[in-house]
Amino acid sequence: MIKFSELNLNPKVLKAIDEAGYETPTPIQAGAIPPALAGRDVLGIAQTGTGKTASFTLPMITLLARGRARARMPRSLVLCPTRELAAQVAENFDTYTKHLKLTKALLIGGVSFKEQDKLIDKGVDVLIATPGRLLDHFERGKLLLTGVQIMVVDEADRMLDMGFIPDIERIFSLTPFTRQTLFFSATMAPEIERITNTFLSAPERVEVARQATASETIEQGVLKFKASRKDREGTEKRKLLRALIDAEGEKCTNAIIFCNRKTDVDIVAKSLKKYNYDAAPIHGDLDQSQRTRTLDGFRDGSLKFLIASDVAARGLDVPAVSHVFNFDVPGHAEDYVHRIGRTGRAGRDGKAIMICVPRDERNLEDIERLVQREIPRLDNPLGTPAEPEEKTTASEPAVTEKPKRTRTRAPRKSDKPQDTVPEPEIAPTPAEAPPAAEPAQAPRARGGRNRSTSGRDRGGAGVIGLGDHTPEFIGLSFKERIGS
């Protein structure tokens, strides 16, 4: 088995590694460090929790051990998708550079520009940043990237997601063409990999495990849940979460609970606190100081339950997380791998439990397709909900349905009976008289109109609405009028 001492690392780096308690590199470290030390571009793909951060920090420190940084011109650049991951990378550099005089700066949001500017003005060997804050410093004229020798993109698939591509392309255009580029991620979709080909030159591909796989030390399970009523889904789902936590008992020493939305993060954290669970939220809308305090409390064990959005799903290294609960099924299948990768790290055992409501079943299918396995189904600790009653049989009394409600139209003003003027009786001429056997039709009240059948056949002999003063010419036939 290969050891760190066989990887041609700087002796002072090896001393720091030994003091940190490491002796044998992980497969991704053993595969990525040699080509990185040789100056080649590297595309590293490995499961989360396998030590990818050290895969680029150790060779970077060795390569940068010689030389000196100039003001506002960092010698290396590490891009991270979130503030927490950037801060974690900075901690790794502190651990492995304790015997070397290398300087670093951390450029993330939520921290004063003035303090960051002071560090950059002195000159730094390693610049660790999120894309937005890095471009802010550049646009203010406080930073030049023309001296970057080594560039690292951590969690490359997330960094190259559609929302990050313009920033990444711009940052790469500001760095020298001769730079060395290292990409590391747990997942690398084919369409994302095609984009990396524009940034890497003949990279050494190091893939130590099938893409998008979780550690075998993680026990996975999913519980399918349907609320009794749609408007009670949130309440019943939070009750189910508490039951799942209680069912794990003492085995659940601490846990990260992931929600898809920031609002749900706050609601779940508040609900758990209400029921005396030691919980606190962390998401992108919180102040950086609060996020840092919460994360530090979770790491040192003073906080048991961390309720998080996907800001905590990428790269956060808390070695002893016993459980991960997915309160929501993630919308992107790759995020599931990153979420459950917060447990079962460095060979430890872990457990990941997910709650799936009916509308999330398609996302569950995508996850199982990605990881190429069926996630075991779990029983509801609260018991299964009551099944709907079956149809009545012949021996059971049939339930009579309520009559359907019908809406009766209110009478309109025009529908009210109108007072009609008595119509005069016009004596028909002998030629036009109706047959004696045929009774005269009753007058119609509506509209005051009265037409007899015989009058309708003749073109109408009765005249309506003129009372007793009917002009003589109206009673004449058409031929008689023309003749007159």
Q: What's the pLDDT tens digit per position in 47-75?
A: 666 788 899 999 999 999 988 888 899 99
CA 480 to CA 356: how far, in whole Å?
91
Closest CA relative to residue 217, chosen from 20, 47, 22, 332: 47
Can you give the residue ranges of every domain in the chain? Answer: 4-207, 218-371, 422-484
Range among 270-274, 344-348, 405-409 with highest mean pLDDT value: 270-274
Per residue in 131-163, pLDDT (tens digit) is 999 999 999 999 999 999 999 998 877 776 656
* For range 360-384, the mean pLDDT: 91
Query: Could you identify the residue written with the tokens 């802010």?
Result: 136
Q: What is the pLDDT of residue 238?
A: 96
DSSP-based three-state secondary structure for 49: coil
Give yes or no on whether 4-207 and 218-371 have one common fold: yes
Q: Do the Cβ atoms of 185 and 108 come closer than 8 Å?
A: no
DSSP-based three-state secondary structure for 104: strand
Output phi, psi for 174, to 5 deg.
Answer: -90, -10
Beta-carbon count within 10 A of 223 CB: 17
Kindly tell me if the per-residue pLDDT of 415 is higher than 60.
no
Q: Do the strands 204-207 and 126-129 form a parallel or antiparallel pair, or are they unpaired? A: unpaired
Per residue in 164-222, pLDDT (tens digit) is 778 888 999 999 999 999 998 877 767 667 777 888 989 999 988 655 567 788 999 99
Q: Do the Cβ atoms of 269 and 281 come closer than 8 Å?
A: yes
Closest CA relative to residue 206, chosen from 183, 181, 239: 183
Q: Do the Cβ atoms of 282 and 291 come closer than 8 Å?
A: yes
Q: What is the pLDDT of residue 463?
A: 52
What's the half-sphere exposure (Cβ side, CA atoms, 13 Å) at 373? 14
What CATH homologous superfamily does 4-207 map to? P-loop containing nucleotide triphosphate hydrolases (3.40.50.300)
Where residue 450 falls among pLDDT bands split at 50, 70, 90? very low
* For range 318-335, the mean pLDDT: 90
**CATH number assigned to the domain covering 218-371:** 3.40.50.300
Query: Could you identify the residue written with the tokens 């609970």?
Result: 257
Q: What is the pLDDT of residue 321?
A: 92
Kindly tell me if the per-residue pLDDT of 320 is higher than 90.
no
